[in-house]
Amino acid sequence: MDATDLLFSVRDTSDETEFYTPVPEGYTTGRVKYVVVMGTVMSGLGKGIFSSSLARLLQGKGLRVAPIKLEGYLNVDSGTLNPFRHGEVFVLDDGMECDMDLGTYERLLDQDLTRDNFTTSGQIYSAVLERERRGEYLGRDVQMIPHVTAEVKNRLRTLAVKSRADVVFVEIGGTVGDFENGYYIEAMRQLAYEEGQQNVLFVALTFILEPPTLGEQKSKAAQLGIKQALQMGIQPHIIACRAQREVTDKVREKISVYTNVPKARVFSMHDCESIYLIPSRMREAQLDQQVMHLLNLTDRANPGVERRDWAAWQRFVDRILAPKHEVTVGITGKYTSVRDSYASLLMALEHSGGALETKVHSKWIDTTNITDENVAEALADCDAIIVPGGFGSRGAEGKISCIRYARENKMPYLGLCYGFQMAVIEFARNVCGLKDANTTEVAHDCRDAVIDILPEQKKIEGLGGNMRLGGRDIEVKPGTLAAKLLGGAKTVRLRFRHRYEVDPKYLECLESKGLVFSGKAPDQPIMQILELPDHPFFVGLQAHPELTSRPLRPSPFFVGLVQAALARRESKTK
């Protein structure tokens, strides 16, 4: 049976057959290749980092790549998820609230993604149930196999058609063996069968334990994890071993023996200083070449493109590895113990550090106990401060104290979303004299609600769907610091995720005392960037510039902050 016969048979949806695989229009089997990345042993191993680094290498060879993340949970999007449990909620330009891994893909691929790149079980089941209600299953009983799995495959193939990708990278959330992800793995088994030889490649990420009491690396958990994938009909082509230290030859051999994967394709993905070193490590291990070979893609590579691409990337990595300066940026936050909840922010700092050959240290500041009296002590070793996005009242007063300190002591300040709103409150209270200024998010009945719920959002009820979300244009006021940072651009597009905004009735008061709103929405009185002209760097954005910062195109707002922090540090040491 050749590929065409196979496609014919899987397309057959008559009631005489058990096959059910609708294929989107314009789809040609064998043109697009798939790399499927799944995890074993435990979650949180960095499947997204592995997948996006490999995708980055293939993209660098001139191939078109499109990632998709398949989440097991029933939520339709990540909007209502607590970042403390799941890492930050990443927002795409089209307003999709999704898993933080999408941020990793966007950064490594320098590519804007859409809702087509993110699927949850909630979306899959909803689509199947809606189809069932429309009678599209033609009287059949609707089953996990073949109907739900068909929906999964259809999404991948639709992405392939829409993106015209050479390679679709599929990342499956959770781990092999999780009850909720089982049907995704089964769908991938079917996909490999239907697409045929050299068209689907499986990567199993696993974890090598090194118990301190034993002092050596142990591979049993990894072996058992991979065995589980084999039991589900998936033979991995590549095994990536996460470990604290480089995985020894002996352990790689052991894994190879137990899994039918050649040792050259058992890759040690041990801890390193920056995730941006992973592509280089993979390249050294020739993983990219192996993938090109296994998927029969070698003819599609463009060596000229690859040389130029790699040189630029290498320069960025070299600058991260050998910084000439260092600064410390204080970050206030509610989720102080979980770095994942601020992943994009930390990445944006790393990107600007790369541009300025500076190691940016971050100092987490829990603001719940900070007051005007002890703030100087808390910020003593910081060269700059960021108040990032947040929700609710916890630590709000402490954040305001930090902002006041930064404003009065000319410490570089960057406020992101909530940090923008807090800066307005601080200014209203301490400069405009509106002592009871606040946001209605914190104090519903305050006298001066300088930050209030957006009129457009007031109409929408319920917590799930009332945020102003996604990419919006900002009109930038000429001659301001924002305009300078943006190289004179008149508009900039950034991403938003907020429910509250500056109440325009306070604009006159705030502006008359010196606060400058240097960015506004083009068609509504929504303030989006603020700054203080008599301060070295005091900038707030209602938007989230950290979401669109990229390794080789760092956010100018972060670059500006780090530059100002460097200047402050240098002036102190002179």
Residue 390 touches ligand GLN, criterion: CB under 6 A: yes
Q: Which two tokens stand for residue 142?
A: 């609707």
Q: Which is nearer to ligand GLN, 183 or 418 (CB)?
A: 418
Structure tokens at 69: 């993340």
Q: Dihedral of the CA atoms 572, 566, 415, 473 (nearest 10)?
A: 150
Q: Which of 105, 418, 427, 517 binds ligand GLN (CB under 6 A)?
A: 418
**Cβ closest to ligand GLN, residue 118 vs residue 342:** 342
180 in active site: no
In whole angstroms, how close is the CB of 513 to ligand GLN at the nearest point? 23
> Residues 418, 387: contact at Cβ < 8 Å?
yes
In whole angstroms, the minimum distance from the beta carbon of 383 to ligand GLN comes to 23
Confirm or reject binding of residue 415 to ligand GLN (CB under 6 A): no
The verdict on 103 binding ligand GLN (CB under 6 A) reads no
Q: How far apart are CA 348 and CA 484, in angstroms?
A: 19
497-526: contacts with ligand GLN (CB under 6 A): 497-500
Contact 252, 216 (CB under 8 A): no
Separation of CA 557 from chain center: 19
Residue 513, number of CB atoms within 10 A of its CB: 12
Whether 544 is a known active-site residue: answer yes
| In the complex, minimum distance from the CB of residue 458 to ligand GLN, in angstroms, rounded to a whole number | 13
CA angle 52, 228, 284 (to 5 degrees): 35
Least Å distance, CB 442 to ligand GLN, is: 9
Q: 417 an active-site residue?
A: yes
The values of phi and psi at residue 234, to 5°, are -110, 115
Segment 425 to 444, residues that bind ligand GLN, using CB under 6 A = 441
Does residue number 407 form part of the binding site for ligand GLN (CB under 6 A)?
Answer: no
| Near ligand GLN by CB under 6 A: residue from 391, 473, 521, 567 | 391
- Under the binding rule (CB under 6 A), the answer on residue 237 touching ligand GLN is no
- Contacts (Cβ under 8 Å, ≥6 apart) of 196: 3, 6, 29, 30
79 binds ligand GLN (CB under 6 A): no
Q: Which of 203, 327, 347, 417 binds ligand GLN (CB under 6 A)?
A: 417
| Minimal distance, residue 330 CB to ligand GLN, in Å | 17
Contact yes or no for 517/527 (Cβ under 8 A) = yes
Q: Is 87 in the site for ligand GLN (CB under 6 A)?
A: no
Q: How many CB atoms lie within 10 A of CB 46?
A: 19
- Decide if 406 contacts 413 (C-beta within 8 A): yes
Catalytic choice (98, 241, 417, 432): 417
- Shortest CB 490 distance to ligand GLN, Å: 26
Using DSSP, how many helices (H) and how many strands (E) does the chain show?
Answer: 20, 21
Return the number of other C-beta atoms located less than 10 Å from residue 491's C-beta.
11
Q: Which of residues 470-499 bind ligand GLN (CB under 6 A)?
A: 497-499
Residues forming the active site: 417, 544, 546
Give me the residues that bind ligand GLN (CB under 6 A), please. 389-391, 417-418, 441, 497-500
